[in-house]
Structure 1
Amino acid sequence: MESQKEHFDPLAECLAIIALSHHREFSKESILSGLPLINGCLTPSVFARAAKKIGFSSKMANRQFEAINPNLLPAVLLLADKQCCVLNKLNLTDNTAEIIFPDLPNSSQVIPLTELTGRYAGQLIYCRPEFQFDKRAPIIRNLKERHWFWSVIKDNRRLYRDVVIAALVINLLAVAMPLYVMNIYDRVVPNHATDTLWVLSVGILLALLADLALRLMRSWFVDLAASRADVQLSSTIMEKVMGMKLINRPDSTGSFTSNVQSFESIRSFTGSLTVVTLVDLPFVLLFITIIALISWPLIIPIILGGAFIIFYALMAQQKMKSLSEASMRASAMRNSTLVESISNIENVKSFNAENHIQSVWEKATIFISRTGAKMRFLSATITNTSMFVQHAVSIVIMVVGVYLLIDGQMTQGGLIGAYMLSSRAIAPISQVAGLLSQYHNAATAMKSLDEIMTRPTENESKNNQISRPVLKGDIEFRQVNFKYPAAETLALSGVNFKIKAGEHVAILGKNGSGKSTLERLILGLYDPESGAVLIDGIDSRQLNPTELRRNIGYVPQDISLFFGTLKENIITAHPQANDDEILKAAELAGILPFANKHPAGFNMQVGESGKLLSGGQRQSIAIARALINQPSILLLDEPSGALDHSSEEVLKQKLAQYSVGKTMIIVTHRSSLLTLAERIIVIDAGKIVADGPKEMVLDALRQGRVGSAN
């Protein structure tokens, strides 16, 4: 068996070295799975996410050698030319450093700092293990896992701290204009004090310039925090979706996609307007206090008006909640219709199903439109009522103020100042009422995403398993029972068989007999309900799914290609493949004839889902994709189903040569492919009804001695 070639990843190797120094081992396949790698390699910007998977915290820092904290070593030094090494010890007395290069992970060396300085880029990554609780530690609610959303917001707390400081100063400066006007009317005008006028005017102008600068800074900080959170949260959601177990897969792809996209509602609600409004709200008390100092009766209409706005907004919330949930459900249903109809557009047209699809779409659209109109009307009533109350409060203040002015209890300047401050006092309350109208959209979306984010992923609890990057190919099913979610009957019942490494086996059976289910259990896409699936004598639940599938060359019956080039689709499972590996896989799969004739060659576009190619060409690409990794196990489901007779014969000859020493399982209805098998397993209704040498089982099938499962 040809061994698989391990791709060299310097930064991942450095992480492995540091983990080993803390007596922790991990599977690199499991850690790198689902991360956005560049040319198959870990990057410094993604290092923290990889470290987090194995219970390490990390931080990138700009440090010269004299500023490096020796208590946080070992650390990763970033070198020139995208290289790196692990700094074990630093001795500034004799200017030496003990380092480990990822090329030689088991060997450390001491070199002069002068030699390292020329290559050191000035950046390093501190990486330390977090404390891990075991089963003896009691579970305390305050120590539960960080929430996927609020933890990211908390990580940006320094930016929000700056926003709060800026808001504090902005709201203090907001008092300047009313005080300026009050002093103009009360002191400057009666006394014709023009010098005082100029001093006050210059001062208020400086205050306004400071206010402008702080508002711009506040807006920048809020948007910066929002953009950082957006990147982190979007990455987290996508990683969760990609790592989700198939048993937790939703019934409707379109509906699930709609739920994931509802993150937009949360992002919109937690944007700049919300943060600024919540920060401004406490300063209502400041403005009311200043108005009370001018004349305390003027605060009564402000308090009553603000209370009425909040009361009305809360009254509308129950209706907004039910409308929001109904709108989200209908949007998920409509999105599901869209995804399903577009992905099956050929069948829709072939069977004249356009009318049905259009009818479902329009009914959902009408419902969403009506629900949206009701929500917008309720939101508008809150906004417009708030505006009306704000103006009404201003009028009441003017009326009451005039009487107080006539009574001699306040000055004309005081009345104008109180009027100006009243609008600043009531505005944050109106904005909070407006936010309440958007709250339920965000709350419904958060509830939906929380449900998604709590679903278990494949690599959870498997990060500390011993890595087994190369498997021989022994496969055994021991009394396996399996049932799909929501199914009423078992798909597999008491299945027992063993396939030795290097053995070639054909699996036969009727449609729905359980052949595809066997493949999915071998691939680790599902776990058995009882019994065990053993790979090389190891329960497959112990194996990292990424490592397991890397050792399996899988050709599914339903071929799915991705938008992109021919080459990109071949190297889907092995992005680091070189040209020789690509050409070898293409030659084995029969791709070279049509690739060589095309002007773009391997850069030819295959179209979405491979629609620019014929069925046979798509199948050839699927075969090449399965072979590119040099797998030890071949799992082929109708590998020649879309090929013509001559292409099938060529494929059989090449597979016969290529599969020597490899475990090969062929699921087929074609008797011509049985020449590749030494043994046949027959499955019916989820049970093994025949298993033995090929000729013996074929003879039993011809004579009708292989019955159906009871």
Structure 2
Amino acid sequence: MEHSDVEQYGSQSSATEETDNDGGKSSSVKDELLEALLTIAHVHDHDVSADSLTAGLPLEEGALTPGVFPRAAERAGLTARLVKSSVVRLNPALFPTVLLLEPGRACVLLDLDVHQRVARVVFPDLGHADTEIPLDELQERYSGDAIYVRPRFRFDARSDDVKRDSSRHWFWGVIRENRRLYRDVILGSVAINLFALAMPLFVLNIYDRVVPNHATETLWVLSAGVFVVLCFDLLLRLMRSTFVDLAASRADVKLSSRIMARVLGMRMEARPQSTGSFVAMLQSFESVRSFIGSATVIAMVDLPFVLMFVAIIGIIGPPLMIPLVVGIIFILLYALAAQGKLHDLSETTLKVGAQRNATLVESVSQLETVKALRGESRVQGSWEQASAFLSRTGAQLKSLGSSVTSLAQWVQHTVGVCVILVGVYLIVDGSLTQGGLIAAYMLSSRALAPVSQAAGLLAQYHQSATALESLNRVMEMPVERSESGYLDRPAVKGEVRFDKVSFRYPEAENDSLREVSITMEPGQKVALLGRVGCGKSTLQKLLLGFYQPTSGAVLIDGVDIRQFDPLQLRRHIGYVPQDVRLFYGSLKDNIIAGGGSEGVDDEMLLNAIRISGLESLVTSHPQGIELQVGEGGQMLSGGQRQAVAIARAIVHDPAILLLDEPTSAMDHSSEEAFKRNLEEYAPGKTMVVVTHRTSLLSLVDRIVVVDSGKVVADGERDSVMEALRKGQIGRAS
């Protein structure tokens, strides 16, 4: 199936909309492609969950599309290939196969009996149960597109000592996928370089045979032949450029997707310290993208044909080869000599550019703080200093790269002059004709052109190589989602247990937690108290799976959370962070941002708005829930941003609530209203509250006091509060 067909199928409808008895559309959405994939995974005994297959993928209206299907299949340990074929021509050896029916619909073809005109299929509406339907009926509903899905061989730890297959490399593997296009480019280049001999040979014959003999008939025949060759040459050049651009475009889309997926999936321990520097590193992919474009590939493909042109010049007149060979060697030696400096300058440019970008991002994101502290001068000085250094380094890099290109052009012209000088003496000597000299001159220019282009690409190559090296480090960062399967836990009771948990942040000198053991029963309300930096928020982040314990384990319902799919784990937990960050968009977009609109109906959305205290804002504003919050939520007050965070934490009705200073920016009346709403909502839910406000303690029935990463008190609320007032709870040793 072509990419455009996939997009058309997905854009028409990505899921089935069920109709109610009145003929109206309900909000229930069925992802039939996902159900079909789960069915095939079940057939091949691959234990996967829907969350693990779709986490982080660009879904359309919350459902898989045929274009994204292969990426989801890869997570299930399967390979998928989109094909166009009639039902009867599908390969039975590759069954079960996904058939795309009318837009948004799909089924799994298990077996086909052409003679009996019967097909055995699985419709997602019926779960994993198969049914037989007439082949004619299936063909009427079949769109003509199918997806072959087969198990992929999995390597285990015993194969780690074997050299890694280059096809599995995140970059070269994608380039390798387009090898058929590059094969066609090479074949086209062979023909183009052979056609390049037409003009020199045409001139040779005109001067040596047509002109002396006044053979006008031969002139017309040769001219017609050369014109046909030139037309084919034009056609091949256009096709070659199109194929190279197509391969680069396909690679660009896939590589960009992989880089973004790696960034979003990386573990928090691997998160870079500077956001601006990291973004600049990712933006350096632009230089890699441009390097794999048409000019680079065509120059590299044409390079081997230099030997052919040199050999033909040698046939015309052996001495004419000497200036050509000397010129090629001279260009290559100068280019090789400049490589080391080009690499150093490219690396320096990338580092300085990243540092300057970090200054920009930091100053813009904290512009209010910069103005309040009158720090404009310091930021401006850092920016100008980095800009000046980057300008000098960039000028040196550009100058050195230009010198290689300029020298190559100078050598090209000089070699042409030398060929004419040598050729004239050969003509005087009688060993060369006039036509031979002109043909040799034309061939010398054609021979040196790829060498000049390749030399000119050196500066761009080093920039791309440096960028690729940086991106390799990004792609090697550990991710939180492992290739091994996860337990499918669609529901949890809410029991939480920290079993001798210790944790240290990356590059920190001391442990943030030291052998912490806490058990919370389902539905229990617990407050975490302690001084600033004692580890309260860290406990919540460990429970969310943001970080992995240095030792010990975090368990939910007696299961280590590392056995949960990260997306499914966070679906069971509603989290209100201390530092609330909103996304550009509407209130509704920010409330249902976690996991999209799947499973969120209007009643759930309005209930979350009511409990969080946003009801007055929504009802009083003309735009209602479509009110735009601005980038980072800058159009809302601090208390309103906290209310949005509370709404999105409870909108999916999680079993566990983690509240980190949930009312720190609220006024007294808003806080009291929120407490009343939360008491009404929270029965039966496990709740962990981190706060320094004693007013919130009425929500809990148990208090855990943490100091220096250790639990120093744990008990019933009133008894712990009394002990705190009397100073009976000491500091951690």
Q: TM-score, normalised by structure 2?
A: 0.95
3-state SS, counterpart of residue 128 of structure 2: coil
Whole-Å separation in 2 of the counterparts to 1:669 and 1:177: 86
The residue aligned with 1:211 is: 233
Give the AA of the match of 1:553. G
The residue aligned with 1:133 is: 155
Give the AA of the match of 2:388. I
1:377-434 per-residue CA deviation (whole Å, 9 max, x = no partner) reads 1011101110111000000000000000011001100000000000000111111111
Corresponding residue to 2:137 among 115, 122, 129: 115
Whole-Å separation in 2 of the counterparts to 1:7 and 1:505: 37
- Is 1:589 the counterpart of 2:605? The answer is no
Whole-Å separation in 2 of the counterparts to 1:106 and 1:377: 66
Return the offset for 1:9.
2.0
Whole-Å separation in 1 of the counterparts to 2:166 and 2:522: 45
Whole-Å separation in 1 of the counterparts to 2:161 and 2:110: 36
Corresponding residue to 2:199 among 174, 177, 191: 177
Q: How does 1:418-437 map to 2 (within 5 A)?
A: 418-437=440-459
> What is the aligned residue count?
705
- Is 1:104 the counterpart of 2:126? The answer is yes
Q: How does 1:433-582 map to 2 (within 5 A)?
A: 433-462=455-484, 464-575=485-596, 576=598, 577-582=600-605
Contact kept? 1:574, 1:629, Cα under 8 Å? no
Contact kept? 2:167, 2:176, Cα under 8 Å? no
Return the offset for 1:134.
3.4
The residue aligned with 2:426 is: 404
The residue aligned with 2:350 is: 328
- Is 1:300 the counterpart of 2:328? The answer is no
The residue aligned with 1:168 is: 190
The 3 A distance-change label for structure 1 pair 137 and 184 is: closer
Contact kept? 2:320, 2:419, Cα under 8 Å? yes
1:630-687 per-residue CA deviation (whole Å, 9 max, x = no partner) reads 1000001111111111111111111001110000111111111111100001111111
Identity of aligned pairs, percent?
A: 53
- Is 1:641 the counterpart of 2:657? The answer is no
Q: How does 1:79-478 map to 2 (within 5 A)?
A: 79-136=101-158, 139-143=161-165, 146-462=168-484, 464-478=485-499
Whole-Å separation in 1 of the counterparts to 2:712 and 2:320: 91
Q: How does 1:24-63 map to 2 (within 5 A)?
A: 24-63=46-85
1:235-283 per-residue CA deviation (whole Å, 9 max, x = no partner) reads 0000000000001111111111111111111111111111000110111
Whole-Å separation in 1 of the counterparts to 2:136 and 2:512: 67
Return the offset for 1:557.
0.8
3-state SS, counterpart of residue 316 of structure 1: helix
3-state SS, counterpart of residue 524 of structure 1: coil
Whole-Å separation in 2 of the counterparts to 1:608 and 1:443: 35
Contact kept? 1:574, 1:628, Cα under 8 Å? no
Whole-Å separation in 1 of the counterparts to 2:307 and 2:336: 21
The 3 A distance-change label for structure 1 pair 138 and 621 is: closer
Q: TM-score, normalised by structure 1?
A: 0.98
1:340-388 per-residue CA deviation (whole Å, 9 max, x = no partner) reads 1111011111111111111111111111100000001101110111011
Whole-Å separation in 2 of the counterparts to 1:507 and 1:597: 36
3-state SS, counterpart of residue 493 of structure 2: coil
Corresponding residue to 2:715 among 692, 698, 709: 692
Give the AA of the match of 2:615. L
Return the offset for 1:624.
0.6
1:308-346 per-residue CA deviation (whole Å, 9 max, x = no partner) reads 000001101111111111111111111111111111011
Whole-Å separation in 1 of the counterparts to 2:732 and 2:350: 46
Q: How does 1:589-668 map to 2 (within 5 A)?
A: 589-668=612-691
3-state SS, counterpart of residue 206 of structure 1: helix
Whole-Å separation in 1 of the counterparts to 2:665 and 2:186: 64
Whole-Å separation in 1 of the counterparts to 2:665 and 2:373: 23
3-state SS, counterpart of residue 582 of structure 2: coil
Whole-Å separation in 2 of the counterparts to 1:515 and 1:365: 42
3-state SS, counterpart of residue 332 of structure 1: helix
Contact kept? 2:85, 2:144, Cα under 8 Å? yes
Return the offset for 1:138.
6.7
Whole-Å separation in 1 of the counterparts to 2:570 and 2:164: 38
Whole-Å separation in 2 of the counterparts to 1:701 and 1:55: 54
Contact kept? 2:167, 2:174, Cα under 8 Å? no
The 3 A distance-change label for structure 1 pair 6 and 476 is: farther
3-state SS, counterpart of residue 666 of structure 2: coil
Whole-Å separation in 2 of the counterparts to 1:154 and 1:580: 50
3-state SS, counterpart of residue 585 of structure 2: coil
User: Following TM superposition, where does structure 1 have runs of at least 4 consecutive aligned residues deviating by more than 6 angstroms?
Assistant: none
Larger RCO: 1 or 2 (CA < 8 Å, sep 6+): 1
Return the offset for 1:8.
3.7
1:458-511 per-residue CA deviation (whole Å, 9 max, x = no partner) reads 11134x122112121111111111000000001001111100010001111111
1:54-89 per-residue CA deviation (whole Å, 9 max, x = no partner) reads 221110111101211001000111110311011111
Provide the aligned C-alpha RMSD in A: 1.3
Return the offset for 1:578.
2.4
Whole-Å separation in 1 of the counterparts to 2:86 and 2:574: 48
Return the offset for 1:130.
1.1
3-state SS, counterpart of residue 501 of structure 2: strand
The 3 A distance-change label for structure 1 pair 356 and 274 is: same
Runs of 5+ unmatched residues, structure 2: 1-26
Return the offset for 1:143.
4.4
Return the offset for 1:34.
1.2
Contact kept? 2:501, 2:515, Cα under 8 Å? yes
3-state SS, counterpart of residue 470 of structure 1: coil
3-state SS, counterpart of residue 67 of structure 2: helix
Contact kept? 1:240, 1:453, Cα under 8 Å? yes
Whole-Å separation in 2 of the counterparts to 1:7 and 1:151: 36
The 3 A distance-change label for structure 1 pair 143 and 432 is: closer
Give the AA of the match of 1:487. A
Give the AA of the match of 2:50. K
Contact kept? 1:313, 1:437, Cα under 8 Å? no
The 3 A distance-change label for structure 1 pair 138 and 512 is: closer
Return the offset for 1:600.
1.3
Contact kept? 2:167, 2:173, Cα under 8 Å? no
Corresponding residue to 1:682 among 702, 705, 711: 705
Whole-Å separation in 2 of the counterparts to 1:260 and 1:500: 44
1:1-41 per-residue CA deviation (whole Å, 9 max, x = no partner) reads xxxx9974211111111011011111221221111011111
Runs of 5+ unmatched residues, structure 1: none
